[in-house]
Structure 1
Amino acid sequence: MQLDFFPSRTLTLYLAKLFVVRILAVLIMLVVVLLALDLLSETGDILAAPGNGQAEILRYASLRVPQLVSRFLPYSVLLATLITLVTLNQNSEVVAMKAAGLSAHQVLAPLLLTAAVIAGVSFGFNERIVTRANATIKAWQAAEYGPIPEVESGASSGVRSNIYLTDGDNILAASTLTGSGKDIVLTGVTWYARGPGGIIREQVRSARATYAAPGWRLENPVAFDVAGAVTQALPARVVGEALTPERIMLQSVDVDGQSFWELGESIAAYDAAGRNTDEMRAKWWHRLSGPLSALLMPLLGSIAAFGLARSGQLFVRAIIGMALGFAYFVVDNAALAMGSFGGYPPFLAAWAPFFLFLLVGETVLIRTEE
């Protein structure tokens, strides 16, 4: 028995089923509560847009659910681990398994296998669904929950939001970008003409801008002269002649809205242009290490599985397991932030917390139970 990593097939399926049911229950509870709170804060803004109603609220909810699932799945795995192991301990099932000759690692093996499957599903879910939801909801919010601009061909794919570009001392800002190359269309455009010292001399607003080769043609612009405090409508005007489509595409990369492979291509393009890629590389590596955090949770929460339930220390063990799990999330976020601005190498920022807490979990398990 000690040479087998997994217990019997029946016991493996029993433990895996318990674990999956509790993960789903905790995840649904968290998503429902957090979605309700989010809708309370956003419904007013959604309904403020002309023509919006219940359908738009449901659309917003459908975009937010994947984001909430992706963000709180690791927390759900941690809480489900503690609930499952505490229940097994209280019912003396862990004692029975150890009396049958199972080691602590064999008791946890079905949970680790289930967590590995969940990590794989989470990666695919993030790449296929969450990235698209991120890009869509950002573009929708940039349009103030109004109609999302469509590209010339009529498809609304490839929408990027909150574009901010510099042309010397001047600034070109746009709420959304659609299309690519010479077919780029900017909407909600503002051109800031600045003088020495960064002082704004003129502000020009336009609903739409297209590439004029060179520069960007503002359609029906309205200019505000800061010195004279005068607003006037202008004919079509070309601005930002140094801003090429290639430069705009580089500066408008939405890391959260790109898949793992698309982000890799963006990083390669940034490298070719001599741009800093630390932040993008850290998040690129985290696309792999993030879902794998589910694999750590049974290990970090395993302290709640062992020890006599009647000793009065089960609650303390559960608190320690929860503390270890949440400590991982704190360290992981801090390391990712450090890697984003160059404090850590991107690879180290993404993977160091995972391997650190893997060693911590193994050390605690071996020292206390093995």
Structure 2
Amino acid sequence: MLTQFFPSRTMSFYMAKMFLLRSFAVLAALVLVLQALDLLGESGKIMAYPGNGNAELWTYISLRVPQIIARFLPFSVLLGTLITLATLNQNSEVIAMKSAGLSAHQVLAPLILASLLVAGLSFAFNDRVVARATDTLDRWQKAEYGPLPKVRATQTNVWVREGNNLIHAAEVHGRGANIRLRDITVYDRENDTLLTILKSPEGRFQDNGWTLDNATRFDVATGRTTPIGTLKVGPEVRPDQFTLATVDPDGLSFMDLRSAIADLKAAGRPTSALEANLWHKISGPMSSLLMPLLGAVAAFGLARSGQLFLRAVIGMALGFTYFVADNFGLAMGNLGAYPPLLAAWGPFFLFLLIGETVLIRTEE
């Protein structure tokens, strides 16, 4: 029964191959143009750091290209769908298939199956490549395109408050009781007046407090700096306040983000925005499944009636409206206005119903 939903094997492979080739050709063209424009705007900052050259430019390209691919793959699938269906319509191949007794859903079935493959590849690519590239690029940009630390930090540039005092750590390594801080600065304040500044190259969590090694104290009143050796500060500051201070969902894989959300929940911190991003890591790639359905309006109707271009424009409008709604839903989820599941999956199911309604009312 499942095979009867598809056209013949030859026709299915023919349509799927046409769809995939056109989609990835559009993606390659978009990546080439957008990467060139992006590099023009960023190359000055990269070359501004002493010693940077062509190798650093290629490093930037290798980190930026995965982000561009992830962002514009759904657009490419939409345009590939429109080009494929418009070509089939122009050559009267859709008319031949419908004359053979195929319904509109059967005509679209090979494209939907191929888009399911694209969605799976997109999720794996985003999870294994894009997340790591985003994290590395963010850290490189924070270093102003200078050398990256050899050991990857769990968090960077973290601020924690203890009463009136502020604690800043340039890097946070490890988790739980094994946490290590690098380049620590403690601002000792009283009634919003800065009294002293403590600095230490390294600190660790020990005996319900933070032990700073090779610390120095700068007295604001006298302007003197005094070495004080080992010092203990922040008895009320928990380790999770450093590791969970900022969580970037774009720089984490699905499982890493899920683990961070679990840690935040255990610490009693709000997680709605991160949960919306977690579910969007699945619903985002799944948007490729909608593109054949939203672009299906370009496949039907007589090409010689002069309305093929108008149908293609309608399909493009439906696709781009979905992307607007998807971004809006995710933004509302980040603000806490929408529940996480609604923010991530609401636009997907809404436009799935819209696409089915248009297809059934016009072609079935």
Q: Give the alignment's TM-score, normalised by structure 1.
A: 0.88
Higher deviation after alignment, 111-120 or 304-313: 304-313
2:133 matched to 1:138?
Answer: no
| Aligned equivalents of 2:195, 2:95: Cα separation in 1 | 76
Residue type of the alignment partner of 2:80:
A
For structure 2, the residue ranges without an aligned partner over 5 or more in a row are none
Alignment deviations for residues 336-368 of structure 1 (CA, whole Å, 9 cap, x no partner): 111122211111111111000000000000000
Higher deviation after alignment, 335-344 or 2-11: 2-11
> What is residue 317 of structure 1 aligned with on the other side?
311
C-alpha change, 1:94 and 1:35, in structure 2 (3 Å) is same
C-alpha change, 1:212 and 1:120, in structure 2 (3 Å) is closer
> What is residue 112 of structure 1 aligned with on the other side?
112
> What is residue 164 of structure 2 aligned with on the other side?
169
CA contact (8 A) 1:142 1:175 kept: no
CA contact (8 A) 1:160 1:177 kept: yes
Deviation of the 1:136 alpha carbon: 1.1
| Aligned equivalents of 2:330, 2:273: Cα separation in 1 | 9
Q: Secondary structure at the match of 1:4?
A: helix
Q: Secondary structure at the match of 1:177?
A: strand
> What is residue 147 of structure 2 aligned with on the other side?
147
Give RMSD over aligned pairs: 2.6
Q: 1:211 aligns with which of 204, 228, 232?
A: 204
C-alpha change, 1:90 and 1:170, in structure 2 (3 Å) is farther
CA contact (8 A) 2:155 2:243 kept: no
C-alpha change, 1:32 and 1:163, in structure 2 (3 Å) is farther
2:102 matched to 1:102?
Answer: yes
Deviation of the 1:84 alpha carbon: 1.0
Q: Secondary structure at the match of 2:161?
A: strand
2:265 matched to 1:271?
Answer: yes
Q: Secondary structure at the match of 1:36?
A: helix
Alignment deviations for residues 236-264 of structure 1 (CA, whole Å, 9 cap, x no partner): 67654433323211224332222111211
Deviation of the 1:208 alpha carbon: 3.8
Q: 1:201 aligns with which of 194, 211, 228?
A: 194
Residue type of the alignment partner of 1:30:
L
Residue type of the alignment partner of 2:294:
L
> What is residue 338 of structure 2 aligned with on the other side?
344
CA contact (8 A) 2:205 2:239 kept: no
Number of residue equivalences: 360
| Aligned equivalents of 2:342, 2:286: Cα separation in 1 | 15
Q: Identity percentage over the alignment?
A: 54
Alignment deviations for residues 141-166 of structure 1 (CA, whole Å, 9 cap, x no partner): 1222112223xxxxx34543342332
> What is residue 74 of structure 1 aligned with on the other side?
74
Q: Secondary structure at the match of 1:274?
A: coil
CA contact (8 A) 1:143 1:176 kept: no
Deviation of the 1:129 alpha carbon: 1.0
Residue type of the alignment partner of 1:294:
S
Residue type of the alignment partner of 1:343:
A
Higher deviation after alignment, 323-332 or 256-265: 256-265
Q: Secondary structure at the match of 2:89?
A: helix
Q: 1:288 aligns with which of 276, 282, 290?
A: 282
| Aligned equivalents of 1:212, 1:291: Cα separation in 2 | 41
Residue type of the alignment partner of 1:217:
L
| Aligned equivalents of 2:73, 2:201: Cα separation in 1 | 40
